[in-house]
Structure 1
Amino acid sequence: MTNTGLATPASLPTEVAALRPIRADLMERLRHEALTVPGNWVVEYGDYQNGGWHTLSLLNDTGNPRDVTIRDCPEPVATSLLTRMPAVRELLAELGLRCMWARLARLEAGAFLWEHRDYGELNDVERHRVHVPLVTNSSAYLILGGTKVHMSDGRVWRLTPTSPHGVCNRFGPARIHLVIDCYADDAFTALNASADSVADSVAALPTPAADELEEHVATASGLAQLGYDRAAETTLLELFYRYALPEGQVYDLIALMYAALHRDEDAERWRSKKAIMLGHA
């Protein structure tokens, strides 16, 4: 029997929390800075996305806003970009977190960050990620644990990025978040304690029927046979945003597709990519 494909209401996964609100006047200044100050956005982590995710650093260990490769940084400094953003500085001071890194992240219309885990390459110390949506829209959402979550603006959010997750912005306009990676301390504990029941646009994704997945794999296989490998891979990667799937299944489907086409090197490449993306390498 074919699944209806309809998502149903859900509660926030434990890996996501809607935290304290942000004053309306400060929110307006933050939004203005995000839209008018940044320039020369950097595309990094290319294997993790389809090309529409851009970042700039606000706090790091070099002061260069285009230095965006995340690493442990117990004593970060303000980048030249942060010096031009007084509202962001005000919010960072209010939060009082022990920051490791802070950056702006822009997700363009039609952009995807594929299913992945974060922090796998960093030292094993307790750290957390805080999101502050500055510019967003209802088609921009996080997928985690088979749940679709739209992080609404006007408040601070907490995400546990060591759980498999992905992000997309289906239709635009561009989504811009302030993303703060911080170390565990009393300030974070106090912030995390401010969680409330707000859960804007949260829905459980449907579980696909076997024939649905077979149809998608057949479509992707046809594209690959015609030489459209990227389109074939994207067809399957995007299933993560449509259905509640077991961890890494989209990567397995791509590897199986290539194996069935007797393209063993490509199948092995995607098995390896799964290990990297999900921290199993």
Structure 2
Amino acid sequence: MDNTVTALAGQIAQLDSVDLAQLERMRHEALTVRAPWKAEYGAYQSGGWWTTSLMNASGDAADVTIGDCAAKPTGLLAQMPATSALLNELGLNYMWVRLARLEPNAFLWEHRDYDDLDEIERHRLHIPLHTNTSAFLVTGGTKVHMTGGRIWRLTPTYAHGVCNLLGPDRIHLIADVYADDTYRRLARHPSLHPDTAELLPSADHAVLAERLQAARNMAELGCTEAAERMLLRLFYTYALPEGAAYDLIAELHTSLGDMEAATRWTAAKQRLLALTA
């Protein structure tokens, strides 16, 4: 496990700590502020994932489609003094800063980020504000619960997904930042505590064949969307080869004779994982 954690630190790592009293004030702000939560990137999620912007190009908190920019505070950030103070203290070169809320029984499907942005070095930071142990990220065949009290760095060019199985809502502050000397000082000692990471079990051919047959039975009863979601959720249960859940869904539709749906899911795999066709 130690070797796995060391290797995984390039994908996700803990950086500096956050003062717990300030973190509690930020948590209170995130839970009570009247935010214009938006559901964006629908193809990436099961539903139940919402964001609102604190810093962006337009200054409009409802503008949540990420892009390179010189970020400026939104009106929402002006209502969150503890959060604003922390962002100022960090002194980073912000590209975009958001609150992200993931409801119970909600999933962000396996995907990569940043593929549609210019080739400029940037990093994604997470500060968990409100979370629970059933909320975790999966990357590299490992599930990681991002605990509170720390700034986490995620490298989103690696395939990853997020879920919140039981709730309550998981709320993170997410800051996309450009690399500079201030960021490098913050990230000079990345670490990943073994207690936060858990290797997922491998799924052999027999297990996947059983799950595929169960999905086929569901689809034949008319529950096609539920069958697709069951296969998508395998990513959070087993250490699968990249894109394997999408391949299983394409195989499901092929077995049912629906080649249009099979082609659509193959294209979704290429799009979500930023693969070259």
TM-score (norm 1): 0.94
State the match for 2:65 in structure 1: 69
- Report deviation, 1:169: 0.3
Distance 1:79 1:198 in 2: 35
Q: Find 1:110's aligned residue among 97, 105, 108.
A: 105
Identity %, equivalent residues: 51
Counterpart for residue 89 of structure 1: 84
Q: CA deviation at 1:199?
A: 4.3
The secondary structure found in structure 2 opposite 1:11 is helix
* Counterpart pick for 1:243 among 238, 242, 246: 238
8 Å CA contact 2:35–2:76 kept in 1: the answer is no
Cα distance, 1:38 vs structure 2: 3.7
Deviations 1:132-187 (A, max 9, x none): 00000000000000000000001100000000000000000000000000111111
Name the counterpart of 1:219.
214
Match of 1:262 in 2: 257
Task: Give the Cα–Cα distance (whole angstroms) in 2 for the partners of residues 197 and 126 of structure 1.
Answer: 22
User: Quick one: which of 177, 199, 218 aligns to 1:182?
Assistant: 177
- 1:51 is aligned to 47
2:118 to 101, 119, 123: 123
Distance, in Å, in 2 between the alignment partners of 1:224 and 1:265 is 15
The code of the aligned residue for 1:27 comes to L
The aligned counterpart of 1:5 is: none
**C-alpha distance after superposition, 1:18-54 (max 9, x if no partner):** 1111111111111111111143311110000011100
State how far apart, in whole Å, the 1-side matches of 2:195 and 2:63 are. Answer: 33
Q: Taking structure 1 as reference, are residues 79 and 199 closer, same or farther at Cα in structure 2, changes over 3 Å only?
A: farther
Of 147, 151, 155 in structure 2, the residue corresponding to residue 156 of structure 1 is: 151
Q: What corresponds to 1:145 in structure 2? A: 140
Q: Say yes or no: does 1:11 pair with 2:5.
A: yes
Aligned with 2:200 (options 193, 199, 205) = 205
TM-score of the two chains, using structure 2 as the length reference: 0.96
Give the AA of the match of 1:245: L
Q: Which residue of 2 aligns with 1:194?
A: 189
Question: Per residue, is there more helix in 1 or in 2?
Answer: 2
Structure 1 residue 11: Cα displacement: 2.1
What is the distance in 1 between the residues matched to 2:194 and 2:24? 22
- Seen in structure 2, the aligned counterparts of structure 1 residues 253 and 180 have a Cα distance that, compared at 3 Å, is same
Aligned partners of 1:127 and 1:38: how far apart in 2? 30
Kept in 2: contact 1:151–1:200 (CA 8 A): no
3-state SS of paired residue (1:62): coil
Deviation at 1:197, TM superposition (A): 4.8
Unaligned runs of 5+ in 2: none
Equivalent pairs, count:
273
Per mean C-alpha deviation after superposition, the further-off stretch among 17-26 and 231-240 is 17-26
With a CA cutoff of 8 Å and minimum separation of 6, indicate the structure with the bigger relative contact order. Answer: 1
What is the alpha-carbon root mean square deviation over aligned residues? 1.3
Partner in structure 1 of residue 36 of structure 2: 40
Q: CA deviation at 1:201?
A: 2.8
**1 CA distance for matches of 2:140 and 2:271?**
19
Which residue number corresponds to residue 3 of structure 1?
Answer: none
Question: What residue ranges of structure 1 are gaps of 5+ in the alignment?
Answer: 1-7
Distance 2:169 2:145 in 1: 14
1:26 pairs with one of 22, 26, 48? 22
- 1:205 and 1:170 map into 2 onto residues whose CA distance is 16
Does 1:252 find its partner at 2:247? yes
